[in-house]
Chains A and B, each alone.
Chain A
Amino acid sequence: MLDKHADYIAAYGSKKDDYEYTLSEYLRMSGIYWGLTVMDLMGHLPRMNRNEIIDFIKACQHECGGISASIGHDPHLLYTLSAVQILCLYDSLESIDVDKVVAYIVGLQQEDGSFAGDKWGEIDTRFSFCAVATLALLGKMDKIDVDKAVEFVLSCMNFDGGFGCRPGSESHAGQIYCCTGFLSLTGQLHQVNADLLGWWLCERQLSSGGLNGRPEKLPDVCYSWWVLASLKIIGRIDWIDKAKLRRFILACQDDEMGGFADRPGDVVSCRDCIVDNIFLLCVITVCLPLLLLPLRWIRSTHCSESQVSPSWGTTRSSRSTRCCVCLRTSCRGTGCNPTSSAN
């Protein structure tokens, strides 16, 4: 079954005349990253066209240094991160102008330490994460004002221990992943109240075993990633009932039609956007090892509904020992220790 997934992803790039392919152009870079991650984890990376992808990335780097989702689109932090993650997977950072990427990111930091996603100024802790994750991969974290960046992210910590997208915003599992990832990369995890946040995160688990993203919302398979990764980063992953979550994820699989529904009992629908499917497949692929489940448990060939925004992923180079959860090379993936300092 893993081969079917590999086939599915390998075929995605070749269907350039597909409506779905065109529709997903605005986040192509992230789609490629998730696809490559799945292929790499399944041991199929060589099947992808490395040179074509690197050429594509080169063509997406703009004058300002930022990288766009696809050719002809505007540069954005989200896709700059995805591009750098891909180049790390392929050990070819020299293909782009790294100094310009750094300059682009530095230029997006605001006076209060926050980061805009692009020149149009949307502020969000997602972009704080994208900025430091990219710089960490490039080894250039010192180019931004890290203290100010940390100050801003901490100002987004809420009364329940969680984080939102801006100060005052409701705690949300996706934003929490970005903020804990950020604090891990900047060596500031000790500023998180790990017991309080850990409790908030494990409260995401419902009796079905599935996870939601905020209190009183429905569970969704995609939250498995943000909640699990966050718990792993703060060293509290044992607080989730892993067996129940495994059962939930596997129960979302549709044995007849193939694919995942967002929760058991829902219908697997043919999503308009293949990239959402690939994202969900990527989520499942990285989550299963965290749940101590081997990859062969994935029985699907298509995935389904996910209302999630792109570009919250990880990078994992088969040649480096960078942790796939917190992105630190010191971690080695055996347990993201909140007290160890960032690389």
Chain B
Amino acid sequence: MSGLEETSNDLLKVKRDQELDADADEELEDDFLVDSTRYLFYRERKEWADLEPVPQDDGPNPVVKIAYSEKFSDVFDYFRALLKTDERSERALALTAEAIELNAANYTVWHYRRVLLQSLSKDLREEMRYITDIIEEQPKNYQVWHHRRMVVEWLNDPSKELDFIADILSQDAKNYHAWQHRQWVIQEYKLWDNELEFVETLLEEDVRNNSAWNQRHFVISQTTGFSDPVVVEREIQYCLNQIKKAPHNESAWNYLKGMLQDRGLSTQPGLLERVQELKETHCSPYLLAFLFDCYEDALENSTEEEQKGTLEMALEICQLLAEEKDTIRREYWRFLGRSLKKKYGNFVEPTADAQEPPASVPGHQESS
């Protein structure tokens, strides 16, 4: 009995709470619109009374909107008014900040802000602080990053950039915009010195960070280059060490291959053996693919006699990948197998996966 009563009391309570919430919402809305200590629309501000707001070209809005969208229209109505007269003033600059907060992707607002910054000879360091705040909130917005670059150029001062970008990358280590900006700063202002160290720190944190691997290639190719055999050996060692820590690492294998492919994978002394050794303990589809690439390269540089064995090994790998280790890309592996056979297979007996009966004995079929 008491259980039932409690239940119905609970229900009543819930219902009352809901009604209260509904009432509170209504009141809140009224307050929001009327209470002048909260937010004033531009159309209500005395200091903006001289401007005629310019609504969107398709006419005034007949339907009652939620308060937030009304704020949006209000700000942009006044933005359009400022554009119309090309006003260059502090209040215009302040309004662009509000417009950016509402829609940071509106590139026209950023253009106008730059025009104002120059017209009013604003303190660009203060602008940098503003930009930092915006990027922290919206790190994937194209416009604000480009704006930052422009202001850094105007100031001709990159001193804060590497630390700032490092901070953004600490929140998202693969942020494409951040990496672009970093590459620009480093290249423009020749800040190469500590970058390899920075890359290694990031790779310690996440050895699969493809952006960091790309940066590694960027730094080395623009500084020492990859022709020095000492550099190449160092990089090979680095890659293989990282691969031992995390074998299924597309980026490390891409980097290794990318670094060596122009000079020929098979020409790097001892590399094939090291990879074959790794195969026993740290195998992955990427390792097998790399082995295949080594064999393919070797085929180009071998005698006919040597080619036979190499081709067999290469085709075995294709089959292994297509049928077992990387089946989702079976079409690719089959393509590679066919290409190799076509190029080098004339003198080689059919491999295990192509069982064909001898043509000279008609009707005699071997079962596979």
Indicate whether B97 reaches chain A with its CB closer than 8 angstroms: no
Contact of A19 among B54, B66, B211, B255 (CB under 8 A): B66
Is the pair A239, B254 in contact by a Cβ cutoff of 8 Å?
A: no
Is the pair A159, B259 in contact by a Cβ cutoff of 8 Å?
A: yes
Is the pair B210, A216 in contact by a Cβ cutoff of 8 Å?
A: yes
Is the pair B111, A239 in contact by a Cβ cutoff of 8 Å?
A: no
Interface residues of A in 235-280 (CB under 8 A from B): 238-241, 244
Indicate whether B183 reaches chain A with its CB closer than 8 angstroms: yes
Contact of B180 among A26, A27, A166, A214 (CB under 8 A): A166
The residue in chain A whose Cβ has the minimal distance to the Cβ of B174 is A217
Residues of B within 8 A of A72 (CB): 54, 57, 80, 83, 108
Residues of A within 8 A of B61 (CB): 16-17
Binds A, one of B1-9, B69-77, B85-93, B351-359: B69-77
Residues of B within 8 A of A19 (CB): 65-66, 68-69, 72
Q: How far is the CB of A220 from chain B (nearest CB, A)?
A: 13
Q: How far is the CB of A54 from chain B (nearest CB, A)?
A: 15
Task: Tell me, in angstroms, the Cα distance from A71 to B84 when the chains sit together.
Answer: 12
Indicate whether B142 reaches chain A with its CB closer than 8 angstroms: yes
Indicate whether B245 reaches chain A with its CB closer than 8 angstroms: no
Indicate whether B192 reaches chain A with its CB closer than 8 angstroms: no
The total of interchain contacts (Cβ-Cβ below 8 angstroms) comes to 129
Q: How far is the CB of A326 from chain B (nearest CB, A)?
A: 21
Is the pair A76, B107 in contact by a Cβ cutoff of 8 Å?
A: yes
Is the pair B251, A26 in contact by a Cβ cutoff of 8 Å?
A: no
The residue in A168, A171, A240, A309 that gathers the most chain B C-beta atoms within 10 A of its C-beta is: A168
Is the pair A170, B211 in contact by a Cβ cutoff of 8 Å?
A: yes
Indicate whether B295 reaches chain A with its CB closer than 8 angstroms: no
Task: Tell me, in angstroms, the Cα distance from A199 to B63 when the chains sit together.
Answer: 53
Answer whether A239 and B83 are a contact pair too, CB < 8 Å, given A172-B176, A216-B209.
no
The residue in B73, B105, B217, B257 that gathers the most chain A C-beta atoms within 10 A of its C-beta is: B105
Answer whether A22 and B180 are a contact pair too, CB < 8 Å, given A199-B332, A215-B250, A239-B332.
no
Is the pair B210, A205 in contact by a Cβ cutoff of 8 Å?
A: no
Is the pair B56, A25 in contact by a Cβ cutoff of 8 Å?
A: yes
Please tell me the size bucket of the interface on B.
Answer: 35 or more
Q: How far is the CB of A148 from chain B (nearest CB, A)?
A: 20
Indicate whether B344 reaches chain A with its CB closer than 8 angstroms: no
Indicate whether B41 reaches chain A with its CB closer than 8 angstroms: no
Task: Tell me, in angstroms, the Cα distance from A120 to B110 when the chains sit together.
Answer: 10
Q: How far is the CB of A238 from chain B (nearest CB, A)?
A: 5
Is the pair B111, A74 in contact by a Cβ cutoff of 8 Å?
A: yes
Task: Tell me, in angstroms, the Cα distance from A209 to B327 when the chains sit together.
Answer: 11
Q: How far is the CB of B187 from chain A (nearest CB, A)?
A: 8
Contact of B57 among A59, A74, A159, A164 (CB under 8 A): A59
Is the pair B180, A169 in contact by a Cβ cutoff of 8 Å?
A: yes
Interface residues of A in 296-329 (CB under 8 A from B): 307, 309
Pairs A–B under 8 Å by Cβ, sample size 27: A16-B56, A17-B62, A18-B69, A19-B72, A22-B72, A25-B76, A26-B105, A26-B107, A26-B108, A73-B106, A73-B107, A158-B258, A159-B259, A165-B180, A166-B183, A168-B222, A169-B214, A200-B254, A202-B332, A205-B329, A209-B328, A215-B251, A239-B331, A240-B331, A241-B330, A241-B331, A307-B140
List residues of chain A with CB under 8 Å of any chain B CB.
16-19, 22-23, 25-27, 59, 68, 71-74, 76, 118, 120-122, 158-160, 164-166, 168-172, 198-200, 202-203, 205, 207, 209, 214-217, 238-241, 244, 307, 309
14 new A-B contacts, CB < 8 A, other than A76-B107, A199-B289, are A17-B65, A19-B66, A26-B105, A74-B107, A166-B180, A166-B184, A170-B179, A170-B210, A199-B332, A203-B250, A215-B250, A216-B209, A241-B328, A307-B140
* Nearest 9 CB-CB pairings of A with B: A159-B258, A19-B69, A17-B61, A170-B214, A215-B210, A26-B106, A215-B250, A239-B332, A216-B208
